[in-house]
Structure 1
C-alpha cells in the first residue's frame, strides 16, 4: 500500500531534505536547458513543477496529460539519469498531471511552493551591489503602470476599455471580469492601471491588488497558524478585487477552495472582481470545477499579442523611458526595426530586449551599435537551430537584390559573384552542410569553388570593413527569416 507523506509528517523531513530535492531538481532543469533548444525546453520541460517526495519517489507535475505523456516518452529517462548522478539517496523521478495527484500530495506541494516563494523573497531583499543597481535603473526607467503608459491597439482595445470603465465607476459587463492572454501582453499593467486610476480620481471604493501566488503564500501561512481570518478580512473588504496570474494556483485544491469562497463573497455584496491568467477558464485544465464555472459565468476577454506597429511603439517608449535617466542611451530607427523584426513576442519580451541592449552598452560605458543590438537579441532568444542553405540564399537575395537564378548561374560579374561568395561562405559558417553539398545548391559547383570562396572571404575580412558590414547584413537577414518562421 502506497503511503503519502502528509504535511504534518513531512514537516521535519522537509527542513532537511525537501529543499535539497528542490535544489537537485533545479540543477536537473539547468542541465536539460543546456542540452535542449530553448523552444523545446520551454514547451515541454520549463513548466514542470516540483511537487514533493512520496515514498522515495520525487513527484513532478505536468500541466496536462499531453505534456505528461511527452515528457515520459522522450525525456524521463534522461531526467532520471541526471537526477541519479546528483542524488546520493537513490530516489527516482516520476511525472504525473496535477489533476491525478492525491489531495494530500497537492497540499504538500502548496507548502513546498510557499517555502520556495519565501526563500526567493528573502534572497531578493538581501541582494545588493551592481546587479541591484542595474535592476533599480531599469525598473525606475520603466514608468508607472497607468492607462496613460499603456499602449493600445486592436489586440487589447476591448480589455483596456473595460478596465477604464471599472476604474471610472461605470457599469462593468459583469461582476467578475477575466482577462487572459499570453504571458507578457500587459495584463498585470492593466490591473495596476485600474488601481492607479481609482486612486487618482479619489474614488471612495477600496481596491486591492494581489497576485495569486501572494494569495497562496498568505493562505498557507494562515493554515500553519490555524487562522486565515486576516486574509479573509483583507480580501472581502475590497470593493474592487484585482487578482493576477490565476494559473499559479491551478491544481491546488485547498487554495482554490479558499479563493473561490472569497471571490464569491466579494461579488455577493456587490463588489467587482477582476482576474488575469495566461489561458481562458476552459483551458486551465487543473482548475477547480466550481472556480471554472464561476469564471465562465462572468466575462472573459482575451488580451492579444501586439502587432508590428504596436511593438515598434513599445520599443521606442521603453528606450525613451531609460533615456530619461541615461540620456546617452539612444536607439535609432535601424536598431528599433532590428529588435521588432527579431522579437516576435509580447511587450515584456520587447522590454527585455531593450534592457539587454542597455545593459550591454550604456550601462557599462559603451556606445550602442547594431552589432550590440543583434547580440543582445540573440542572448535573449537563446540559441536558434542552424539556418538552411535556402534561408541563407534568400537572405542574400534580399540584401543584394539578386535572384536565385543569379546565385546558381555561371555569371562571374562582381554584382553576382560577390553576393554568391558571401552566401557560400555563410553556408559553410552557419549550416551543417559539407562543401560538396553547398556546391550542389549553387549550380552544381565543385567543392573546391566553395572552399576558395570561404578562404578568400576569411582572408579579406580583416582588412575590408565593407565586406564585414555586408556579411553582417546578410547574417541579420538570416536571423530575421528564422525569427519570422521562414523555412
Structure 2
C-alpha cells in the first residue's frame, strides 16, 4: 500500500468521526482515492457532479489540511467527478483498511482543481430516508384552479420547471386549509419527476425548529446546516410558527440567505403575507418579499362545488346526490380541507352503517359541523322569507288561521326554524303564536313527508334554504 493510500485511510477515519455518521454516509463515504503515483497531488473521485460540487464547497480545505497532517509534501487535493469503471488502482472508502487508534486532527481549508468537463456517467440518487414524505394526492393535476388561486398555482408550476428558476423565493399565504401545502407537495412531485436526482426538502417551520434545537443539543449543527443548504429545492411550511423564536430565526435567516445566494429554489408558506408576520425579524420578511408573493383566497360557492365534483370523480362507485353536494358547497365555506373532510365523513358513515346517502342522512351525520359553519339564521328572518315567498303577511304565520294557504307555509317556516336554528321546540312554538312543542314536531314531520311526495313543497323548501343560507 502506498503512503497516499495509508494517509487516505487515516483521513477517512477523521472525517467519519468529525462529520457524524449521517453526513459521512451520505456525502463522504462514496469518495474514492485515485492512485496516480504523484505524492504531491491527491485525486479523489465521486460518482456525480452534484456530489462533487457539494464536497468541494464544504470540504475542500478540510481535505487538504487533513492530508497535509499525514503527508506534509501534499500540495493539492483534487475532487473530481469520476466515470464509473473497474480499475485495481482505485481504493474506495469502503475497502480502505481501518487504522488503529487514530486521533482526530482538526483541520480546515482547500483550493481544488476544476472538474473535468465530462458529464458524470452515474447519476446520484437520493437515499429513501432523504426524500420528503409526499402525499400522492397532492399534485398539480388534482389541484382545482379558479381566479382565487390562479396566480399561486401558475407560480408553483413555473418554479417546478427544471433549469434556471425564473424567480425565488416563492411565498404562498392564505388561511388554513386553502391549498398551500397541496401546492408545495405538487412542486416537489413535479420537480423530482423532471430531475430524479434532485435533493428536495419539505418540512414545517415547527420541524425546522425542532431539528435545529436537536442539532444544538447534539453539537451537530454542521450536519443540519449542510443538509438544508445543499437542497436543490427547500420548502418550509407554516412560517408563522417561528415567530418570537430568536435563535431559530437566526439560523433560518442564514439558511435562506445561502439558498437564495446559490440560486436554488426556495418556497415558504404562511397564514399571512411577509409584512404581516408579527414576531418575525424584518430582515427575514424583507428577503422573502424579494421573490414572488402569491395569496390564495377563500373559494366561492362555485369553486367549492368544483372541488367536491373532483373529489367525487375519484369515487365513481359511490352515489352522492346533487342535493348533498349542494348542501356541502353552500354551508361549509371555511376551508377546502374542512369541505373535503365533510364529504369523506358522509361517505365513511354511509359505508359503515350501510345507509344510502341522502340529504337527511348528510344533515344528521354533519349536524354539529353544519351548525358551526352556518350563518346564524333567526326565526324572524325565516318568517319574513316564508311570508314573502308565499305572499302572506308575517302576522299570518303567528295567527290562529288554519286555512291551508296559511297552515302549510307556517309548517314550512317551523321546519326551517328547526333545521336552521339552535332554538328548542318550545322556543320555536312560542315564536309562532304560542303553540306548543307537539305542534312543531307535527309540522316538521309533515313537511319531511311532503318533500318526498309533493314537488311544489320540496321546491319551495329548496328555494328558501338557498335564500336563507346564502
TM over 0.5: yes
CA distance in 2, matches of 1:478, 1:430: 18
Q: Deviations along 1:183-221, whole A, 9 cap, x unmatched?
A: 111111101111111122236543221221221111111
CA distance in 1, matches of 2:428, 2:175: 43
1:390 aligns with 2:380: yes
Question: How high is the TM-score relative to the length of structure 2?
Answer: 0.61
- 2:140 is paired with a residue of what secondary structure? coil
| Closer/same/farther in 2, CA of residues 225 and 339 from structure 1, 3 Å limit | same
208, 215, 225: which one aligns with 1:215: 208
CA distance in 2, matches of 1:390, 1:183: 34
How much is the aligned-residue C-alpha RMSD, in angstroms? 3.4
Q: Which region of structure 1 is more displaced relative to structure 2, 227-236 or 186-195? A: 227-236
Alignment of 1:11-50 (within 5 A): none
Aligned to 1:235: 228
> Deviation of residue 364 (structure 1)?
3.6
- 1:185 is paired with a residue of what secondary structure? coil
> Deviation of residue 339 (structure 1)?
0.5
> Deviation of residue 381 (structure 1)?
4.5
CA distance in 2, matches of 1:143, 1:240: 18
Aligned 8 A contact 1:211 1:245 in 2: yes
Unaligned runs of 5+ in 2: 1-133
Aligned to 2:322: 333
> Deviation of residue 481 (structure 1)?
6.0
1:374 aligns with 2:395: no
Question: How high is the TM-score relative to the length of structure 1?
Answer: 0.59
Unaligned runs of 5+ in 1: 1-139, 440-444
> Deviation of residue 314 (structure 1)?
0.9
Aligned to 1:271: 264
> Deviation of residue 268 (structure 1)?
1.0
1:312 aligns with 2:300: no
- 1:301 is paired with a residue of what secondary structure? strand
1:414 aligns with 2:404: yes
CA distance in 1, matches of 2:304, 2:415: 33
Aligned to 2:8: none
CA distance in 2, matches of 1:208, 1:370: 44
423, 427, 439: which one aligns with 1:431: 423
> Deviation of residue 177 (structure 1)?
1.4
> Deviation of residue 480 (structure 1)?
5.6
CA distance in 1, matches of 2:153, 2:445: 53
Alignment of 1:19-418 (within 5 A): 144-169=137-162, 172-202=165-195, 205-321=198-314, 323=315, 327=317, 329-381=318-370, 383=372, 387-394=377-384, 396=386, 401-403=389-391, 405=393, 408=396, 413-418=403-408
> Deviation of residue 355 (structure 1)?
1.3
Aligned 8 A contact 1:356 1:380 in 2: no
1:458 aligns with 2:446: no
Q: Deviations along 1:258-287, whole A, 9 cap, x unmatched?
A: 111111111111112111111111111111
Aligned 8 A contact 1:342 1:479 in 2: no
CA distance in 2, matches of 1:152, 1:385: 26
> Deviation of residue 366 (structure 1)?
2.5
Aligned 8 A contact 1:180 1:303 in 2: yes
| Closer/same/farther in 2, CA of residues 353 and 168 from structure 1, 3 Å limit | same
Aligned 8 A contact 1:461 1:468 in 2: no
CA distance in 1, matches of 2:158, 2:416: 55
CA distance in 2, matches of 1:479, 1:258: 53
